[in-house]
Structure 1
C-alpha cells in the first residue's frame, strides 16, 4: 500500500481562504446578513464606504468559492485514501457530510445566521453522485453548470431585488440594530430564528432553493476535476502564474460590472459569475506565491490554520459574536468597516500563531476530533491506534 504525501498547498490555501471569508463575514457580524446589503442605513463615512466597496469587489463571494473548490478537491483526495485502505467510500463520506449538517444546524441555531456548514453538508450529499464518475464526465457537468450561471448572470442574476417596502425595511433595520447591539443572548437568538424580512412567495422560495446548487456545484465539480489531475501540485509554478494573470483581471472586471451597470446603460451585471472567476485567479496567485516561498514561516502558519479550518471557523464565530453582539461588548454597527478589517487581520494573525503552536502539541483540533470519531467510528483519543486520513477531515 502506498501512502500519499499530504499536500501542503491544499492546507495553506484553505487557511488563506479562511482569511478572506473572515473579512467578508465581518460585514455580517457587524451589520447583519440583510443589513450589509442595506449599508446606506448605517451612514458610513466616505472612508468606511470605500472599505465596504473594496470588500465587496475584492473579497466577498471570491474567497468562499476557494473553499468550495477545495471541498471538491479534498473529496477526491479523501476518496483515493479510503480506497487505499479498502474502506467503503460513499458510506464514510455520507457520515462526514451528515456531521457537517449536524454542526451546521447547531452553529446556525445557537451562534450565528451566516453558517455554511449545513449547506456544505447538503451539497456533499449531492456530490456523492459524482464521486465515482470519470473525470471527463465531471468536467462536462462543470462546464454546463458554469454556462448556466454565466447566462443567468448576464440576464441580471446579480440584480438587487427589494426584500420589502422601504418603510418595513427601516422598521426591520431599527429593530435589528437595537436587539443585536444591546439585547441578551436569548433575545438575539429569537430574532435570528424567528424574524425573516424576505417577502417571498412559496414559488419564489422553491426557486431560490433549487438555484443554490447551480451556484455552488460548478466550483465543487471543478475542484473534483482538479483533484483527479492534481492541479494543486506546488511544482507547477508557471501554470499558477498564467492562471492568476488571466483570471484576476477578468474576475475584477466582472465584479465591478455590478457598479458599472448602475452608471452606464447597456453594461450587463456579470458579478454573479465574477466571484468564481476571481477565486480561480486567487488560487493561481496563491499557488504561485506558495511555490516560490514553500517552507517559509508564514506558509507553514497558513498550513497549520488550514489543518484546523473547522475549529478555526467556529472560533471566528464565537469571537466575533462576542465582540459585536449585545451579550458581549456590543459593537454591532459601531466599529466601522476599516477598523473591522484591521480587527480581522489581527484576529487572523493570532489564529495562525495559535494554530501553529497547537499542532506542536496535538495532532488535530477539537472539532476535527469529533469529525474523526463519527466518520471513522474510531476513538480519536486513543494514542496507540492507526491515524486515519485526517488530511480531509475539515470544512472543505
Structure 2
C-alpha cells in the first residue's frame, strides 16, 4: 500500500469508521497502560516517589524513559480522540434522525458510573469520570467554530500552566505545598499495607486516595483533558482525519514543532520529577505547555507511518475499537497481580518487569480483540454503553462481512 492512498474506512452499521482513528486509539491505549501500570503496582509511585527496593541503573533508565516519553502524553491523545469521536456521534445521530442530546447525556451518565466503579474497586487514577464531565462541556460547546475551539484550548492550557507557575513561586517563598519526602514515604507504606490486604481494605484505600486527588482532578487533569477534547472537536468538525494525504505538510510541521519543543519540555519535567533540579510545580507548568505538542507529534508520526505499516494498523485497530473494555480489563488484571485481590505483588515488581507485563498484556488483548470482533460488532463494555446510550440492546452479531474483514489492508 502506498503512502498516497486515502486511508480506507470500514462499515459500522449506517455510519463509517476510520481505521486510522481506531489504530491511533489502540496505540494510545498501549501508552496509557505502560504509564498506569507503575501506579497500579506501587504505593510509592502513587505517592510520587521511586520504589526504594529498585535502584539499579536499569530501573532508573526505565523510570526516566517512561516519564519523559510517555507520561502525560497518551491520555492527551486519548482525550483528543474523545473529542473527535464526539463529532462522529453528532453526525451519526443526525443521519439517523435521532435526538442527540438525551442520548449523549445517557452515554455520559453510563461512562461516569463505570468510571466511579472503576475508581473505587480497581484504580483511583481512573479517567473515565473526567471524560464524562468533559463531555458535558463539549455538549455545551458543540456549536462553536473550530477556530474558537482551538483558541479556547490554548487559553485553558496557558491559564493552567500559569497556575502552576504561581504555585512554584509560592513554594519558593517558603510555603510547603507539595509535602515532604518523609510524608510521601509514610503515605506509600500505609498504601502498600492496605493494597496487599483484604478486598475491604483495598476499597477503603481507593476511597481515601480519591479524597486526596480530587483537587488534582479538578484543577489539573480536568482542564487538560478538556483542552485536548476541544482540539479533537475542531479536527472532527473540519474532517481532517478522513483524508490524511491532503494534510501531509501539516502533519510534518506538527512533527518538527512537537518533537523539538515537546522533548525539551519533557526533559525539564523529568528532571523535576526525579532529581529536584527543577521545582516540581515549575516542571508541571512546562509539561502542561509542551506535552500536547509532543502528543501531537506522536499522532502525526503514527498517522504518516500507518499507510506503510498496514499490519501494524490492523493489529492496533481491534483493541482500539474495544478501548473501553480493554482499559477496564487492564486495571482488573493488574489488580489481580499487584493487590490483595490476587497475588498481592504491590511494590515487589521492578520497573522493567512492569513494562514487560504491560506489553505482554496488551499483546494478549490485541489477540483477544481480533477474535472477539470476528463474531461481535462491539466490545462487551461498549455493547453495554451503547445499550445505555440508545436505551435498548444493540445488535451483537455481525451481519455485514464488510464490518471487519480479516485480511483486507485497511490502514
Superposition TM-score tier, normalisation by shorter sequence: 0.7 to 0.9
Q: Partners in 1 of 2:168 and 2:100 — Cα distance?
A: 37
TM-score between the two structures when normalised by the length of structure 1 = 0.86
Aligned to 2:262: 251
1:94-132 C-alpha deviation (Å, 9 max, x unpaired) = 111111101011111222212111111111111111112
Deviation by residue 1:224-251 (Cα, 9 ceiling, x = unmatched): 0011112223334443233223202211
CA distance in 2, matches of 1:263, 1:135: 39
- Find the partner of 1:18 among 29, 34, 39: 29
Aligned: 1:136 with 2:136: no
What's the CA shift for 1:210? 4.8
Tell me how far apart the structure 2 counterparts of residues 242 and 231 of structure 1 sit (CA, whole Å). 15
Contact persistence 1:153–1:273 (CA under 8 A): no
Q: CA contact under 8 A between 1:44 and 1:336: conserved in structure 2?
A: no
Task: Give the CA deviation at 1:324.
Answer: 0.9
CA drift at 1:345: 1.0
Q: Answer yes or no: is 1:373 the counterpart of 2:382.
A: no
In structure 2, which of residues 55, 60, 64 is the aligned counterpart of residue 49 of structure 1? 60
Structure 1 contact 308–368 (Cα < 8 Å) conserved: yes
Q: Distance in 1 between matches of 2:377 and 2:169?
A: 43
Match of 2:373 in 1: 359
**Cα distance change of structure 1 residues 138 and 330 upon mapping to structure 2, 3 Å threshold:** same
Instruction: Answer yes or no: is the 8 Å Cα contact 1:153–1:272 preserved in 2.
Output: no
Give the structure 1 partner of residue 107 of structure 2.
Answer: 96
- Corresponding residue for residue 78 of structure 1: 89
**What is the match of residue 283 of structure 1?**
299
Aligned to 2:241: 232
- Aligned position for 1:173: 188
Partner residue of 1:297 out of 279, 295, 311: 311
Deviation track 1:26-45 (CA, whole Å, cap 9, x = no partner) reads 11111138535111544522
Is contact 1:237-1:291 (8 Å) kept? Answer: no
Change (3 A) 1:297 1:97: same
- TM-fit CA distance, 1:315: 0.7
Residue 158 of structure 1 deviates from its aligned partner by 11
The correspondence for 1:272, drawn from 288, 302, 305, is: 288
1:323 aligns with 2:334: no
1:359 Cα deviation from its structure 2 partner:
0.7
Q: Any conservation in 1 of the 2:46–2:188 contact (CA below 8 Å)?
A: yes
SS in 1 for 2:377: coil
Query: CA contact under 8 A between 2:26 and 2:318: conserved in structure 1?
Result: yes
Deviation at 1:176, TM superposition (A): 1.7
User: How do residues 3-42 of structure 1 correspond to structure 2 at under 5 angstroms?
Assistant: 4-32=15-43, 35=46, 37-39=48-50, 41-42=52-53
Q: Point out the more displaced range, 166-175 or 153-162.
A: 153-162
**What is the SS of the residue equivalent to 1:52?**
helix
- Aligned-pair distance for 1:174? 1.7
* Corresponding residue SS for 1:38: coil
Q: How many residues align?
A: 378
Partner SS state of residue 128, structure 1:
helix
Aligned-residue CA RMSD (Å): 3.1
Q: What SS does the aligned partner of 2:124 have? A: coil
Q: Identify which range, 307-316 or 131-140, moves more after superposition.
A: 131-140
How far, CA to CA, are the matches of 2:370 and 2:237 in structure 1? 30
In 1, Cα distance between equivalents of 2:169 and 2:295: 17
Residue of structure 1 in register with 2:5 after alignment? none
Alpha-carbon distance in structure 2 between the residues aligned to 1:105 and 1:130: 25
CA contact (8 A) 2:44 2:51 kept: no
Alpha-carbon separation, structure 2, partners of 1:211 and 1:339: 30
Structure 2 residue 370 is matched with structure 1 residue 345? no
Q: What is the TM-score with the length of structure 2 in the denominator? A: 0.83
Equivalent pair of 1:93/1:375 in contact (CA under 8 Å) = yes
> Which residue is 1:217 aligned to?
226
- Asked if 1 retains the 8 angstrom alpha-carbon contact of 2:40 and 2:334, the reply is yes
For residues 210 and 57 of structure 1, do their structure 2 counterparts lie closer, same or farther at Cα, with a shift above 3 Å needed?
Answer: closer
